[in-house]
Amino acid sequence: MSGANMIEKKKSLQKEVIIMGIETSCDDTAVAVVLGEGRILSNLVSSQADFHQRFGGVVPEIASRHHLEAVNLLVDEALREAGMKLNELSAIAVTYGPGLVGALLMGVTCAKALSYAAGLPLIAVNHIEGHLYANFLLHRDLELPLVALIVSGGHTNLVYIEEHGCFEVLGRTRDDAAGEVFDKVARALGLGYPGGPIIDRLSAEGNPEAITFPRAFLEGNSLDFSFSGVKSAVLNYINRMSQKNEEIDVRDLAASFQQAVVEVLVEKAIQAAERKNVKTIALSGGVAANLSLRSSLSRRASEEGYRVYYPPLEFCTDNGAMIACAGIYQYLKKDFASMDLNAVPGLQLSAGCDET
Ligand code: KG4
Ligand code: ZN
């Protein structure tokens, strides 16, 4: 690109909203720069999975330490890849909850420092909303109202969204999150961390009808979830087999367990769309990367006349672009945070409509 073209490009970009998204709620340090129109200029993720692998799950202190080491480097690299300087951004968006408190604080502190240093507005993003906004980022034709199924390692939520910023929580897990049970079952089988992708891969070669595990549909027409029953059933099965000295067919076990979880997620998402009389279901969060969930929900939804959206695989798990995208919508509403922003580890989706 010639020097003149480069200057022209920069000028046109400057007229737009340009948001940096910073995400450090769990074990991925992620920073992205996204344009208001949804174009991703940079999107970097530094995964810590290898460091947590031998513990079979995320160790909070290790997570915080790695975020501290990585976050500033990623900020510099994300700006460099985007061809931007800090003061050319419109705002800094950061995840402030839910998540691990020490991990969240690394991102929040970094974002506050950048915001203060460059005089940029600070935007506090709810991580669960961030996952939802991955769909708006990647599907420009996505329209409201819709029902969202947001399923990750820490959350399982069915949400009705009529307007941006208005979330009606229709159901949430009463115990373990969907991703959490994938991780716990994988750990019990000695398969490594994170368990979801490993179980997903093994399931492709297994028989989902081989072992019957319980499906918790709960009382009445509840749209809440409970995955502790299926988790205990799998753990009991593993113990029984090892007491009898019988070999476990890990592929069949993985496929049967996965089917039990996916079936409940799919049926409740369809019920929610029916109840709210919407035509669109948006699936997101780390577990949305599950191939069986993606295909089963798409199949059931098309039978029932619903459209299903989900992000490409790399935007299902934690990333900075989804936080930046949620930040764009908050920026347009001038929904800014102050310098006393703190991490809120137990943050929930706000039930009511924010009138700001
Ligand atoms: O969204 P995410 O990166 O972090 C949280 O917000 O929790 O989700 C991570 C979770 C982990 O529990 C991981 O095992 C699960 O998403 N996951 C999957 C798959 N890929 C990631 N679960 C099932 N199938 C997958 N393919
Ligand atoms: Zn997440």
Query: Quick one: average pLDDT of 329-355?
Result: 88
Length of the chain: 356
Q: Label residue 285 left, alpha or beta by phi (over 0 means left) and psi (-120 to 50 means alpha).
A: left
Q: What is the pLDDT of residue 3?
A: 55
pLDDT for 287 beyond 60: yes
Residue 141 — pLDDT band, cuts 50, 70, 90?
very high
Output the pLDDT for position 353: 67
* Closest ligand, as measured to the CA of 156: 1
pLDDT value at residue 49: 84
Cβ contacts of residue 53 below 8 Å, gap of 6+?
192, 193
User: For ligand 1, what atom is nearest to the CA of residue 317?
Assistant: 3
Residue 197 Cα, ligand 1 centroid: separation in angstroms?
7
Averaged pLDDT score across all residues of the chain:
93
Confidence class for position 58, pLDDT limits 50, 70, 90: confident
* Closest atom, ligand 1, to C-alpha of 182: 14
- Tell me which CATH code domain 141-311 carries: 3.30.420.40
Residue 188, number of CB atoms within 10 A of its CB: 17
pLDDT at 14 over 70: no
Q: What percent of the chain has pLDDT over 70?
A: 94
- Identical topology for domains 3-133+316-345 and 141-311: yes
Which protein residues are within 6 Å of ligand 1, measured from CB? 26, 152-154, 179-180, 182-183, 194-197, 200, 285-287, 289-290, 317-318
Under CATH, to which class is 3-133+316-345 assigned? alpha beta
Q: Where are the domains of the chain?
A: 3-133+316-345, 141-311
Query: How high is the pLDDT of residue 13?
Result: 47
Q: Could you read off the pLDDT of 195-215 as tens digits, one per residue?
A: 999 999 999 999 999 999 999
pLDDT band at 48 (very low <50, low <70, confident <90, very high): confident
Which pLDDT does position 4 carry in this prediction?
56
Tokens of 44: 């970097």
Measured at the CA of 244, the angle between CA 243 and CA 249, to 5 degrees, comes to 100
| Res 50: pLDDT | 84
